[in-house]
A and B are shown apart, each in its own frame.
Chain A
Amino acid sequence: MNPYVILSDGVSAGVSELKENVDDVYHQDFGIGPAKISIKDIFGKAYKYLEPPNSTISNDENVGSQTVSIIAESNSAFGQENFVSMFDRLDGSLFDGSINTGTKKKKIFAPFSTYTPTVVWPYQRSDGARYTVHDLAKKDIGIPDWVEKPLSVMIKQDLDIDEDGKADYGGLPLFNWLADPAMGVGPIILTGLLGYIAFNIVTTAAPLVLSPV
């Protein structure tokens, strides 16, 4: 068998086993007699005092469109908006929605989710809608409870921003600044490729067009 596969399987099995063991210890009852005490209970009680304030995410419905076009004009009948006219309509705003903690609002930097033309946008939701930084914000990180609670206390930030009881990417520090540019890397590379091809076409085709036949 391939040594890489052996190593990969071994590491994977080891991590799963470790996770299960920690999970078992976390839920194990250390109480004596009728008294039930587990690490989970202790964590839960401590968390009540140390818990960071609740955070939620909001999305501005007036920003963005299902179809962002390059050439075609904006047409509300078809859920389509030209990226230039949208930029104009929104006064060049680069933000969409916010992560709210009490009265404090962290605006979400979302120029790529908002303005990137659909023709080069590679992200889509399972229900067929445009996948934006707000969808990424609500995506579960997939960490267990015994990691989520200490982590949220350490970073003083509620990780469950969509209120489904699980930690979300949107709760991580600097998510509101870094996530959208990270999503924009793919379209940027593709647009760069387009620019490169277009440049080569112009330099190749222009002499052909201008030269006498």
Chain B
Amino acid sequence: MARTMSAYKIDAILHWQQESEQRKKALKELEQLPGEADEAFLQRAESLPQPRTWLAFALDPLEDGAPKSAESDSPGMLDATDPKNADSLLLDPSWSNATVGQDPDTVYFYSQAQKGRDSLGERLIESVYPSIVHKTAAGDYVPNLWNLFQNKDGSRFEGHEIDSFPLRTLYHGGGAAWNLLFGAGVCVLGAFVYRKAMPALFAGTADIIDETVEVVIMD
């Protein structure tokens, strides 16, 4: 499967995830003090560290400034000679290193680290499709649960392990067909769940409207 990010980048991503969640939580839990004016409260909220995008974090993890230079060839046009950019992740050569295929140990480490996260949705998505693995062809989207191919050592057999390009294309073509069928299956299942759930919802809503109308008319 595709490519697994470098340990350096994964470590940085985990830091960013942690930072983002802490900052979001701090903002969410912020309460207005007794007697505090609305404007003062808003100013206090704005003065707290705000959640950042991944790119903003990667450019300047320590938030000490990220000077740029028009002549710079570095990623993000960062001035590589400025000491303030010493913390920039983009300027580290390890940034672009990646392992070919899905590295099971790295993915396991990352998946375990995801268990401590707040969002259930993100935990679920990360358990099926770890974000640290770049998916580059259709076969990479087949989750491990449904994967039929395995190496002798128990690891997942991946498309890039096939030397012949036509066979590799056939492998991923099969993956694409599976993705389409699975997507269609999810639609069918969703339609039935929707059908089962909706009558109750409709009935409940209709009852509320019915009772409200009755009460109004009776008055």
Contacts and interface: CB of A to CB of B under 8 A. Distances in A.
A76 B55 contact: yes
Contacts of B132: 78
A194 interface: yes
A117 B198 CA distance: 33
Given A75-B54, A209-B195, A128 B13 contact: no
Nearest to B202: A212
B101 A128 contact: yes
A77 B187 contact: no
A193 B138 CA distance: 15
Interface in A70-94: 75-80
Given A129-B3, A208-B195, A212-B199, A124 B137 contact: yes
A198 B184 contact: yes
Nearest to A66: B134
Given A78-B134, A190-B180, A124 B187 contact: no
A182 to B, nearest CB: 13
A122 B136 contact: no
A77 B54 contact: yes
> How extensive is the interface on chain A, given as a class?
35 or more
Given A78-B134, A201-B191, A122 B176 contact: yes
A186 B180 CA distance: 13
A129 B199 CA distance: 48
B177 interface: yes
A72 B106 CA distance: 23
A122 B138 contact: yes
Nearest to B188: A201
Given A122-B176, A187-B176, A198-B187, 9 more contacts: A76-B54, A124-B2, A124-B159, A128-B1, A128-B158, A190-B177, A194-B183, A201-B187, A205-B191
Interface of B: 1-3, 13, 16, 54-55, 58, 100-101, 131-132, 134-141, 158-160, 163, 168-170, 172-173, 175-177, 179-181, 183-184, 187-188, 191-192, 194-196, 198-199
